[in-house]
Structure 1
Amino acid sequence: MMRSLFSGVSGLRTHQLRMDVIADNIANVNTVGFKRSTVTFKDVFYQTLRGGSAGGTGTGGTNPQQIGLGVTLNSIDVVHTQGAAASTGNGTDLMIQGDGFFRVSANPEDSNTPVYYTRAGAFHFDNNGDLVTADGLYVIGYDANVDTTTGKVTPGTNEKKINVPATSQSYSIDKTGVVRYVDSNGATQVAGVITISKFNNPAGLEKLGQNLYMKTSSAGTENTGTPEDSSKGLANTSIIPSALEMSNVDLAQEFTDMIITERGFQANARTITVSDQMLQELVNLKR
């Protein structure tokens, strides 16, 4: 069979994969905290018909003669650029400005419970007053030490749930992640400080669905702290309350990529068609 048939098939497969990624990006154009993905290709390998040789006395050098055998998937990369801010007016909706991820868990006080990461800050207080995600995972915070003289809040090191009692009169969340509430006696209390994790390679995180990521070895070192904590590399990271980060999908870019992908698919399909016609001519040599 002709090599072009197999090259054409590999081209169809890879363009189908790229189209799948583009379709997922477009489907999540309005998903809170979603990060778009991109696809790159690479050539597979080559059949060498003749190797290269160096020039000698009376003869010049020759270049190798090789025929490529198609294309395959090189990478699917997640692009972690900042999404647009959407004001919601809901005090428990939080947006991260800068790098980093919210940390959530089924049990923040148990170190053996897996920790997940998300950019989607659509949180709410449940019936117990705990700050949770839409799927019921607890937002992980640190305990806090309050200077009674200055009122300055210093994050502790113990991880905990962020709890605001149902009897409280009001609550507030500032840009440094400090959650305060006014108790039934009118005194201001600190419920905790929201934690943020930053990775050397956020594209190395594994997507789990439900706006969650899981840490992998390729994500690199995890630095966990609170917003604006310079010692953890979070000096330029802050929280915007009453806002959500929208998807970073650019529809103009996605539709352009869709057109390019469609034409690439058509061209590879045409390669298969023409190769089939050449084989048909070969078969028809003997009638």
Structure 2
Amino acid sequence: MLRSMYSGISGLRNFQTKLDVIGNNIANVNTYGFKKGRTVFKDLISQTVAGASGASATRGGVNPKQVGLGSQIAAIDTIHTGGSTQFTGNTLDLAIAGDGFFQVSDGSEMMYTRAGNFYMDSTGDLVDGDGRYLMGLQGKPSDGTDYVDEGDEEMGLPFDPDDYTYGKIQIPKTASSMSIGQDGTVYFVDTTQAGKDAIAAEELLFRPQEATLKAAIKGAEVALKADPEDQGLKDALKTTQDNYDLAKLPLDQAITDNKAVLQVAGKLQIATFSNPGGLDKVGGNYFRVSANSGEGNPGFALDQGFGKMESGFLEMSNVDLAEEFTEMIVAQRGFQANTRIITTSDEILQELVNLKR
């Protein structure tokens, strides 16, 4: 009787653990990038009442007689299937369609996450909700203000590693807009203050001449309209127009040279693992490398073996409520059945005690 009672107790413990895992899954049904857990059972050691015997010339073989002593937890797996994506329209909301984890760091430890709700802080660095830096390759500023130019906008391999540095991704404060490609390249549009100053300086030189030259052009046009065949008037109009264009040329050139152009701030790097199920969950949507996960394999979205990056989307939890509620019912009934074993064993023991009466 005690044997069956303790078997029931082991079942109660295991189904309680299963309910704990289910409860955590349901609690995180709307957590971005959350990966559900799964509880797996295995049996405990069995007590051998009689061993097996082989066949002989006069008698067949006999199987062993064993009584199991209950169950135990075999594993609590993390299921890394992809969750559905939700459109947000926010450029810094990122989802990885396929394999890979975002890499974030606080300067002392690298963490990995599938939650792609990122932000830009006051210094232009891309960070997550806890202020950890989003990591990748960043264009080295050549003079403190300029970033990698449009000629390297694809940043595809092979590229000159001297042009880039690994670390946090930073957008200059003068950027007017930004976008992120499916390969993780971070683009921005920027008109520097130096460019604005150059345009303003040329405007100061041109504007005083503009009204005078436009008035001269207007006068020449009126005179030519009165006498369209006068070659002298035609030449005068052309000379006046050329003078206007010549005076305006430095301003046009300044605007052309300093117009807002697409530039590259860097390229987000993601990591894959040979055994993502071996990563440690540490809370806050973070995973940490463990002894059984293997070291991270860094790379870029769209590379072979890596997923693509979607800007303006977030990956939702991969928890399926219908599945979780079904598992909850099974766990509840399993828990209930094990309590019946304990209750029944107790009643039999009570009958044995009553034999003395």
Tell me whether the two structures share a fold, i.e. TM-score over 0.5: yes
Pairing partner for 2:335 from 259, 265, 268: 265
Corresponding residue for residue 225 of structure 1: 299
Corresponding residue for residue 177 of structure 1: 184
Uncovered stretches (5+) of structure 2, i.e. residues with no partner: 141-147, 193-259
Identify, as 1 or 2, the structure richer in strand: 1
Structure 1 length as normaliser, TM-score?
Answer: 0.93
Q: Is the 8 A contact 2:118 2:129 kept in 1?
A: yes
The residue type equivalent to 1:190 in the other structure is: V
CA shift, 1:2, in A, is 2.0
Identify, as 1 or 2, the structure richer in helix: 2
Corresponding residue for residue 48 of structure 2: 48
Taking every aligned residue pair, what percent have the same amino acid on both sides?
49
Q: CA RMSD of the aligned region, Å?
A: 1.6
CA shift, 1:60, in A, is 2.2
- Give the Cα separation in 2 of the matches to 1:191 and 1:63: 71
Corresponding residue for residue 119 of structure 1: 114
Corresponding residue for residue 346 of structure 2: 276
Once the two structures are superposed, what CA deviation does each residue of 1:38-72 show, in whole Å capped at 9, x if it has no partner?
A: 11100010111111011123222211111000000
- Give the Cα separation in 1 of the matches to 2:121 and 2:344: 63
Moved more, 188-197 or 207-216: 188-197
The residue type equivalent to 1:153 in the other structure is: M
Counterpart check, 1:191 vs 2:265? yes
Q: Is the 8 A contact 1:182 1:189 kept in 2?
A: yes
Q: Is the 8 A contact 2:149 2:263 kept in 1?
A: no
Uncovered stretches (5+) of structure 1, i.e. residues with no partner: 108-112
Pairing partner for 1:248 from 294, 300, 318: 318
Structure 2 length as normaliser, TM-score?
Answer: 0.75
Once the two structures are superposed, what CA deviation does each residue of 1:106-144 show, in whole Å capped at 9, x if it has no partner?
A: 12xxxxx32100000000000111000000000001135
The residue type equivalent to 1:163 in the other structure is: Q
Moved beyond 6 Å, runs of 4+? none
CA shift, 1:223, in A, is 1.5
- Give the Cα separation in 1 of the matches to 2:154 and 2:355: 90
- Give the Cα separation in 1 of the matches to 2:328 and 2:182: 39
Residue pairs, 1:23-102, within 5 angstroms: 23-102=23-102
Evaluate the alpha carbon distance shift between residue 91 and residue 147 of structure 1 in structure 2; reply closer, same or farther with a 3 A threshold.
Answer: closer
- 3-state SS of 2:175 partner: coil
- Give the Cα separation in 2 of the matches to 1:178 and 1:282: 76
Moved more, 135-144 or 184-193: 184-193
Equivalenced residues, count: 278
CA shift, 1:151, in A, is 4.3
The residue type equivalent to 1:89 in the other structure is: G
CA shift, 1:217, in A, is 2.4
- Give the Cα separation in 1 of the matches to 2:152 and 2:99: 30
Q: Is the 8 A contact 1:144 1:153 kept in 2?
A: no
Q: Is the 8 A contact 2:30 2:316 kept in 1?
A: yes
The residue type equivalent to 1:76 in the other structure is: I
Q: Is the 8 A contact 1:133 1:139 kept in 2?
A: yes
The residue type equivalent to 1:126 in the other structure is: D
Evaluate the alpha carbon distance shift between residue 40 and residue 244 of structure 1 in structure 2; reply closer, same or farther with a 3 A threshold.
Answer: same
The residue type equivalent to 2:85 in the other structure is: A
- 3-state SS of 1:274 partner: helix
Pairing partner for 1:137 from 127, 132, 135: 132
* More RCO (CA 8 Å, sep 6+): 2
Once the two structures are superposed, what CA deviation does each residue of 1:148-176 show, in whole Å capped at 9, x if it has no partner?
A: 65743236473111101222111111111
- Give the Cα separation in 2 of the matches to 1:158 and 1:148: 17
Counterpart check, 1:159 vs 2:229? no
CA shift, 1:177, in A, is 0.3
- 3-state SS of 2:292 partner: helix
Q: Is the 8 A contact 1:37 1:79 kept in 2?
A: yes
